Amino acid sequence: MFDVTESRILIVDDDASVVRSLRQILARHGFGQIASTTDPHLAKALFQEFSPDIVVLDLRMPGLDGFAVMEQLTPLVPEESYLPILILTGESSTEIRRRALAAGAHDFLEKPFDVVEVDLRIRHLLQTRLLHLRLANQNQTLEMRVRERTRQRDRAQEEMLQRLAAAGEARDDETGQHTQRVGHLAADVARALGLPEAQVELIRRAAPLHDIGKIGIPDAVLLKPGKLSQEEFAIMKRHTIIGARILADGQCDVVQLAASIARHHHERWDGTGYPDGLVGEAIPIEARIVALVDVFDALTHDRPYRPAWPPQKVCEYLTQESGRHFDPAICEVFVAEAMAPAQAQAHRHSIQEVTHAAAA
């Protein structure tokens, strides 16, 4: 049961005697917070200041009638809210009532009004509002719980994907950081290419699983320090198929994308890659991105059989392979982004040299 003393009632009627009478009736029935005006032009400002729980509104007023007032108030009421409007009218016309209902009215009180009816209709509308607000609060609480559980599910999924990616790298990357670097680099490139942020996030989460298929490659091949023979390389290439099989039939977008990347990240722009020999844009764009950043990260970090290359040298190599191994558009964007810090640093050094020379 609601507390009538806390319910806020706004009365808008150009007849001062009607307003006075309504205020007296409501006060006798315990309604403690009442605002009123006989000037309909003040209704909007009073509504915003008072924040009523119900509006008691006359239809026939000079200058600005009840329909015009409802038109002003409607935009101020949130869609999810329920603000009852009780119409005061001396007319019983069906057309007028339909028009009022279409404009936002919820009930009618005919003049001259009955004291008991005034109390009952206002109480009924206020109870309806209270139930609506309670339901809205329950829905909001439920939505918050759903969002929290969704976040928990996403965090759990993220952790499982990271652990799965780490498992794929555990045998030939003791730190396990390569997979995470590839994920973040791939997301940066995707964003630089202007892909939608939702797709960027999927790439960030899926890319670390690109080499999960290495789980199925024998140690003698995977950990061999020297160059692989043709037979060994044929075995190594199977990690793309194995990875796609491990991730096949995933029910969520990130696993489905990871399966595609695992299978296609060794395809080449000119069609000489594996396992399917796809050419150009037939290769999924996510796999084209990972193909490039995978090579970049591998070359810029130490391996047992060679030291890391400096980023500039790697970028030169990527540029040479543009149009053969790598998508030219992706390569251009990546190299520009990768070399920007170095160019900025070189520019700073150049400025410093000029400054020192001028000072000398």
Q: What is the pLDDT of residue 350?
A: 34
H helices present in the chain, as ranges: 16-28, 43-50, 66-73, 94-103, 115-169, 177-192, 197-206, 219-222, 230-246, 253-264, 285-299, 311-321, 328-359
Question: Is the same domain home to 137 and 179?
Answer: no
Contacts made by residues 277-280, CB under 8 angstroms, sequence distance 24+: 280/327
Cα 274 to Cα 265: distance, rounded to the nearest angstrom: 9
Which residues of the chain are modeled with pLDDT < 50? 174-175, 342-360
Tokens of 100: 């009022």
Residue 283: per-residue pLDDT: 98
Same domain, 133 and 40: yes
Residue-wise pLDDT for 153-183, tens only, equals 777 777 777 777 776 666 665 445 888 899 9
3-class DSSP assignment, residue 108: strand
Final residue of a structural domain among 105, 122, 142: 142
**How, if at all, do strands 54-58 and 85-89 pair?**
parallel
The reported pLDDT for the residue numbered 198 is 95
Give the number of domains in the chain.
Answer: 2
The three-state secondary structure class of 269 is coil
**In angstroms, rounded to a whole number, what is the distance separating the alpha carbons of residues 12 and 40?**
6
Q: What CATH number is attached to the domain comprising 35? A: 3.40.50.2300
Based on the fold, state whether residues 119 and 181 are members of the same structural domain: no
Q: Give CA–CA dist 116/265, Å, rounded.
A: 78
Co-location of 105 and 247 in the same domain: no
Query: 205-262, pLDDT tens digit by residue?
Result: 999 999 999 989 998 898 887 788 999 999 999 999 999 999 998 888 999 999 999 9
**pLDDT for res 353:** 39
Q: Which of 142, 162, 192 is the last residue of a domain?
A: 142
| 132 and 215 housed in the same domain | no
- Same structural domain for residues 108 and 212? no
